[in-house]
Amino acid sequence: MSVDAPPSTLSFTAPRETVATVLQAVGRAVSSRSSVQILGGILLRTDNGSVEAAATDMELSLRATIDAKIAGEGAVVVPGRVLLDIVRVLPPGEVTFAQLSGESMMSITCGSASYRVHTYDATDFPELPTAADGETHSLPPAPFFDTLATVGKAASRDESRPVLTGILIRLAGNRLVMAATDSYRLSVKESPIELPPGLELDAVVPARALNEVARLGAGAGDSSLELAVQQNQIIFGYSGMWLSARRIDGQFPNYEQLKPDSFEAEMRASRDELGEVVRRVAVLAQRNTALRLGLSEGQLSLRSQTQDVGEAEETMPVSFTGEPIEIGFNPAFFLEGLESVDSDEVVLRLINPLRPGLISDGSDDFWYLIMPIRLAS
Amino acid sequence: MFYAGAMIIAHLDLDAFFAAVEELERPELRSVPLVVGGDPSGRGVVATANYHARQFGIHSAMSCAEARRRCPHVVFVRPSKNRYSDYSRAVWEAVEGVVAEVQKTGIDEGYLNLTDQAATFREARSLAEVVQATVRAKTSLSCSLGIATCKVVAKIASDRKKPGGVTVVRPGRERAFLAPLDIRKLPGVGPRSEERLHRAGIETIGALASLSDDELGSVLSGKVGTGLRDRARGIDPRALELPGEAVSISHEETFPRDVTDRAVLHTEIHTMAERVAERLHRRGKATRTVTTKVRYGDFSIRSRSRTLSAHTDDAGVIGSVGCELLDRALKDRPGALRLVGVGVSNMAAERQLSLVPVEAEAIADSANG
């Protein structure tokens, strides 16, 4: 927010615990690598009788208010890293922040500890997206956070295809769909959700920003998640925090089209037991080598081999229908698929060693499509 | 000889590499203070400064704004990475013509194993001078070398007499050579360990080398600590990491007469891509990186590479990516070509398949490009 020159200098006092909690939460949006110095800072400003703290790296922003006694109105940007380091070690008690008039410095005092730190001009801080009154909708948080936790890991980290670094969120007709893919696997979950009338959404939101939303969800539960949809931004409000995320332009892959119509083979196994076996065998699938699954009637054998390191093998009883097959998967991708399944039994459907496999709980509400590794021999 | 069986390792470091390349491409820059790096009006940093600029106290990683403050008439040039890769390749080809075992560790540095080619450290120095002369003859670039019994000492030594120097640290002299140097010069000491060492009053490599186990344990924990102290003592058992079997496959074609017709060049690239794909099939491999190389009428070389999101062994994909790269090279620098080549690297036998086929991706991208 471009802030007009403050009429006075910022000064406020609040308990250390309050300050530390808010700043550490907001500080997660501080840009660590930006070449723009001010993005490494946290904005502190008075706003309607409270103090607002905000940070952004231009992809996402976080804002929250500090419940404080205000002695002077104003706004200032304090370098984030040093501010967080300070509040972390302050002794218990009241902390006073005071902008020093005529100087671009701020004093921070708490008990007998006192600091003076250089600051930046708040007028240089970018304007952050905010939700106008009446623009926000209330959602039940549980389905949103559960769905996000299920698909989140499948998003890509490769910046060369930006749309895949996002998670597709669809809200319509009391259904929530989220989908994520890095082009090697695709995770799709659909959940019932009670939507306020008039709310529809079809947006791709950076997975990194949604990870931060998920962190908000991990804290104490509010009864509702606030959502505001703007042309270029999505704004989330939860537990006193506001997070805005840039929407990603571009066409998300048509996930329904990628899902094969039919499969040739099906395995059913205990999710936890299979997970244990995979973890044990995967130890020797190093340097991007494949976890090899050999399936035949009643049995799954898992193998891995890394040149110059060694090999591992383990078999387990499973229920299997279809012709015997050997197929290779990236062990990490495979495990993440298993871990996304929210039931005791996991179903793996296959076509052939070069076509995608599908991991699910047997229902149509969640599916995880995983492309094989083409085996050398 | 002393120390029978001692390794003789050299570290080669090109002198002010990016700046030197810019000076070769634009000779008028030779006589001025020159910085290759980011935007001086923004928040760019110095990647390389030439030796004129260094006289003003300008060095790598300094902000460009600071460089300009120290020397207002310094000339700033943006890095041209592809050109540096081309020169770098030429340098390493030259080095490999002299020394059999070479481990490149960066675009402008690497280790040479001289053990089998030099019986003594005196011979090793002569060999290093041959390397310098060859690199200079083939590329007009200057480099410095350090020679010692192990990597860490050789690397520190190569920085000792820059530019164009050869520094030999004889066996048994490693610890004395390292002792007076600032702890920051020791490879492996990052900002965090440097801070911990400073807090413990350890400023020089020698001070770290003389710590007892107990003293060391209270400063740096576990293997990191003992590893760094070993290095400080001039002990570094790392051998050279040499490339295994062929890491790339390429084909190139020199034309009887220089060619400008784009259609002819594209046909040529597709034909070569088929041969490359055949060789991939024979070895049961697939590739992720495609490179197109061009040589102009004036013999200057450019190359362009692209890494795909997944492996392929498809001649059509390699060909269309190769053509796209050719078009990019000719867009950056138009001209008649006397040679084109297509190569692939980044190969694997097993390959992760993609939901969105790489074929479709390559075609979509070349349509966009």
Q: How many CB atoms lie within 10 A of CB B262?
A: 12
Show which of residues 294-333 on chain A sit within 8 Å of chain B, judged by CB atoms: 328, 330
Select the residue of B42, B44, B351 nearest A373 (Cβ to Cβ). B351
Specify the CATH number of the domain B248-366: 3.30.1490.100
The answer to whether A369 faces chain B, any CB pair under 8 Å, is yes
The answer to whether A206 faces chain B, any CB pair under 8 Å, is no
pLDDT of residue B97: 87
**pLDDT tens string B211-238:** 998 889 888 877 788 889 999 999 998 8
Q: Across the interface, do A371 and B354 touch by the CB < 8 Å criterion?
A: yes
Please list, in sequence order, all residues whose beta carbon lies within 8 angstroms of the beta carbon of residue B115, skipping any fewer than 6 positions away: B7, B8, B9
Contacts of residue B352 in chain A, CB cutoff 8 Å? 184, 288, 330, 371, 373-374
The string of DSSP letters for A322-350 reads SS-EEEEE-HHHHHHHHHH--SSEEEEEE
Q: How many CB atoms lie within 10 A of CB B128?
A: 27
Q: Which residues of B are identified as catalytic?
A: 109
Q: How far is CA A55 from CA A20, A26, A30, A35, A129, in A?
A: 15, 6, 5, 15, 12
Q: Tokens in use for A19? A: 């300050």
Instruction: Please give the residue of chain A at the shortest CA–CA distance from B361.
Output: A161
Select the residue of B42, B310, B356 nearest A253 (Cβ to Cβ). B356
Q: Which domains does chain A have, with CATH numbers?
A: 8-124 (3.10.150.10), 131-255 (3.10.150.10), 259-370 (3.10.150.10)
Kindly list the residues of chain B whose beta carbon comes within 8 Å of any beta carbon in chain A: 38, 42-44, 284, 286, 309-310, 348-356
The answer to whether A80 faces chain B, any CB pair under 8 Å, is no
CATH 3.40.1170.60 in chain B: give the residue spans: 17-80
CATH 1.10.150.20 in chain B: give the residue spans: 174-232
CATH 3.30.1490.100 in chain B: give the residue spans: 248-366
Contact by Cβ (8 Å): A242, A64: yes
How far off is chain B from A261, nearest CA to CA, in Å?
A: 15
- The domain made up of B17-80 is a member of CATH 3.30.1330.10: no
- Residue for token pair 């052939």: A352
- Residue for token pair 């991708």: A333
Contacts 24+ apart (CB under 8 A), B72-75: B73/B32, B73/B33, B74/B32, B74/B33, B74/B34, B74/B35, B75/B29, B75/B32, B75/B33, B75/B34, B75/B35
Query: What is the second-level CATH architecture of the domain B174-232?
Result: Orthogonal Bundle (1.10)
Tell which residue, B239, B169, B242, B241, has the closest CA to residue B205. Answer: B169
The answer to whether A354 faces chain B, any CB pair under 8 Å, is yes
Instruction: Please give the residue of chain B at the shortest CA–CA distance from A161.
Output: B309
DSSP one-letter code for B126: H
Instruction: Please give the residue of chain A at the shortest CA–CA distance from B283.
Output: A376
pLDDT average per 10 residues of sequence, chain A (377 residues): 59 95 94 82 92 94 95 94 94 94 90 94 92 88 93 85 92 95 94 91 95 84 87 92 94 93 96 97 87 96 89 96 96 95 96 95 94 84
The answer to whether A183 faces chain B, any CB pair under 8 Å, is yes
The strand order across the sheet containing A241-246 reads A75-79, A41-47, A50-56, A60-66, A241-246, A233-238, A225-229, A137-139
Which phi-psi region, left, alpha or beta, contains residue A58 (left: φ > 0; alpha: ψ -120 to 50)?
left
CA A21 to chain centre: 20
Contacts of residue A375 in chain B, CB cutoff 8 Å? 350
Instruction: Please give the residue of chain A at the shortest CA–CA distance from B43.
Output: A35
SS3 category, A276: helix
Contacts of residue A371 in chain B, CB cutoff 8 Å? 352-355
Contacts of residue B286 in chain A, CB cutoff 8 Å? 374
Instruction: With residue B259 as reference, give the H or E element that holds it.
Output: strand B248-259
The strand order across the sheet containing B46-49 reads B46-49, B34-37, B75-77
**Mutate which of A33, A35, A164 to test chain B, going by most B C-beta atoms within 10 A?**
A35
Instruction: With residue B19 as reference, give the H or E element that holds it.
Output: helix B17-25
pLDDT of residue B246: 61
pLDDT of residue B1: 38
pLDDT of residue B363: 45
Tell which residue, A32, A278, A330, A349, has the closest CA to residue A154. Answer: A330
Contact by Cβ (8 Å): A299, A372: no
pLDDT of residue B304: 92
Of the CA atoms within 13 Å of residue A144, those in its CB half-sphere come to 27
pLDDT of residue A160: 67
Instruction: Please give the residue of chain B at the shortest CA–CA distance from A35.
Output: B43
Contacts of residue B355 in chain A, CB cutoff 8 Å? 181, 183-186, 253, 258, 356, 369, 371
pLDDT average per 10 residues of sequence, chain B (369 residues): 69 95 90 89 84 91 88 91 89 90 90 91 95 93 96 95 94 93 90 87 93 88 86 88 71 88 95 92 86 88 83 87 93 91 87 70 43
Burial A308-329 (b: 16+ CB within 10 A, else e): eeeebeeeeebebebeebebbb
pLDDT of residue B355: 86
pLDDT of residue B4: 47
Q: Tokens in use for B30? A: 């030779």
Please list, in sequence order, all residues whose beta carbon lies within 8 angstroms of the beta carbon of residue A302, skipping any fewer than 6 positions away: A277, A278, A281, A291, A292, A293, A294, A312, A313, A314, A315, A316
Residue A300 phi, psi (nearest 5): -115, 125
Cis amide prior to B163 (ω within 30 degrees): yes
